[in-house]
Amino acid sequence: MMTEVLLVEDAAFFERVIRRQLTDQHGFNVVSATTCAQARELLDNPDFKPAAALVDLTLPDAPNGEIVDLTIAAGLPTIVFSGRFDDELRRTVLEKGVVDYVLKESPSSLSFLTTLVQRIVANRSIDALVIDDSRADLAVIERRLKAYQLRVHVALSAKQALEMLDGIENLKLVILDHRMPNMDGFEVLKALRQRYGMHQVAVIGLSGQAGPETTARFLKSGANDFISKSSTPEEFMLRLSQNLDMLDRIELLSELAHRDPLTGLSNRRHLFADGDALYRRCRSGQKSVPVAALDIDRFKRVNDTLGHEVGDHLIRYLGQTLTELLPENAFAARLGGDEFCVILPGCPMDEAVSLLNKVRDRLALAPESDPFLKGLGQLTVSVGLSDGDEDNLQNALRVADVRLYDAKNNGRNRIVAR
């Protein structure tokens, strides 16, 4: 289901431009109103639950920004998009709790507006931790972050903050006061960086008194940014956005580098990096860690007789089957062609054999369940399984490969585990 956005704009040109950008570039469903009354009617419908509101301050029936009161009262993160620039008006609107005040002055403003909506929607699944021994400052920052749709956690001390980390689901942002009793910001930063890399969690230092030397030291110690408590709400939120956007871009690039584009599973590079680390952790913790090598039987015949499009679809089908049937902690990777590897942390050998037999059974049904694979006849997969006694993943996979060849040489369509 597409995410809905409420757009309240009486100028047809701006309505069309904003709608097109939000719909075509970001995939939002834009619901428009040209008056405050129309917006109120839309919001009175309990089935209408927009993720955000974009509103013009000057409407035919609400010339003084009354639309902001309506959308804020409805609990919507609200972005003002207006041609009116007035310092007093801007302060008044920002004090009401809007996310931002954007001027209709250039194409870049439109681009910023649509990017901001996307950021707000993404923030709903992101956790932020604020650490500050001042209750007053903590309350101000918490209010700003919640308006920005972040899931906010607060701590009045470093000790309390560090104890909270295990219970935070998707921590991406930490706002950290650099001056606190008992354990200062530099010590907290060091503890955070021992647990999270700079590309995993953005740590932003905060101070009301720090000079440039402190800022430089904080950044050199592993902070992503440093902000003065006297900064405007707009600067504060912009800096936060830039850091979160950077994490998103790094995560996307990492995903592209680690994923097999055809199946969405891990690729060979990721397997021998993170997969090997997982294997070693299981071995050091004395957990069982079976490793399987899988290969589709007579796959070349499929490519030669029906073409690579059908062959690619079959590989995707097996990748999806592994994703659906294996436990969440399993590590599945495509090695190349029709070859796959699966790591099963903590899984006893008999359970591993049972899981892989379910994969074989699912593949056998593919010509009946998937229209694209009809006419392929019998589809089978051979599996070699190592029990994970080897020192590293490479050696375990080598054993699994030998057993895979045994499965092929003994009639295919079977699992060899010894």
Same domain? 8 vs 101? yes
- What pLDDT does residue 416 have? 96
| DSSP run (H or E) holding 112 | helix 107-123
Same domain? 409 vs 281? yes
- What pLDDT does residue 72 have? 94
Same domain? 249 vs 138? yes
Tell me the pairing of strands 331-336 and 202-207: unpaired
Q: What residue numbers bound the domain in which 58 lies?
A: 4-121
Task: Mention every residue, 6+ apart, whose C-beta is less than 8 A from residue 273.
Answer: none
Same domain? 284 vs 329? yes
98: in domain: yes
Using alpha carbons, list the distances in angstroms from residue 376 to 286, 366, 408. 43, 9, 19
74: in domain: yes
The last residue of one of the domains, among 211, 234, 258, is: 258
The last residue of one of the domains, among 258, 277, 307, is: 258
- What pLDDT does residue 1 have? 65
Give me the number of domains the chain comprises. 3
Same domain? 394 vs 273? yes
Same domain? 214 vs 273? no
Same domain? 295 vs 358? yes
Q: Look up tokens 């990721």; give the residue.
A: 270
CA distance 322 to 317: 9
Phi/psi class of residue 80: alpha, beta or left (left: φ > 0; alpha: ψ in -120 to 50)? Answer: beta
Closest CA to 310 of 320, 318, 302, 299: 302
Task: Output the tens digit of pLDDT for each of the chain's 418 residues.
Answer: 689 999 999 999 989 999 999 998 788 999 999 999 999 999 999 999 999 999 998 899 998 889 999 999 999 999 998 887 777 878 888 888 899 988 888 888 888 888 899 999 999 999 999 999 899 999 999 999 999 999 999 999 989 999 999 999 999 999 999 888 778 888 999 999 999 999 999 999 988 776 788 889 989 999 999 998 888 888 898 999 999 999 999 988 888 889 999 999 999 999 998 999 999 999 988 889 999 999 999 999 888 888 899 999 999 999 999 999 999 999 999 999 999 999 999 999 999 999 999 999 999 998 888 888 887 888 999 999 999 999 999 999 999 999 999 999 999 999 999 8
CA distance 157 to 362: 53
Q: Starting from the edge strand earliest in sequence, which strands make up the sheet with 29-33, in order?
A: 29-33, 4-8, 52-55, 78-82, 100-103
pTM summary value: 0.75
- What pLDDT does residue 277 have? 92
Q: Look up tokens 């309505």; give the residue.
A: 15
CA distance 326 to 23: 36
157: in domain: yes
- What pLDDT does residue 375 have? 74
- What pLDDT does residue 265 have? 96
263: in domain: no
Closest CA to 36 of 56, 22, 19, 20: 56
Cα 90 → chain centroid: 33
Same domain? 69 vs 159? no
Q: What is the CATH number of the domain that holds 307?
A: 3.30.70.270
The last residue of one of the domains, among 75, 95, 121, is: 121
Same domain? 215 vs 232? yes
CA distance 402 to 234: 61
Same domain? 285 vs 375? yes
Same domain? 48 vs 144? no
Same domain? 324 vs 390? yes
Q: What is the CATH number of the domain that holds 21?
A: 3.40.50.2300
Classify residue 191 by burial, with Cβ atoms within 10 Å: 0-12, 13-18, 19+. Answer: middle
Phi/psi class of residue 345: alpha, beta or left (left: φ > 0; alpha: ψ in -120 to 50)? Answer: beta
Q: Which amino acid is at 11?
A: A
- What pLDDT does residue 111 have? 86
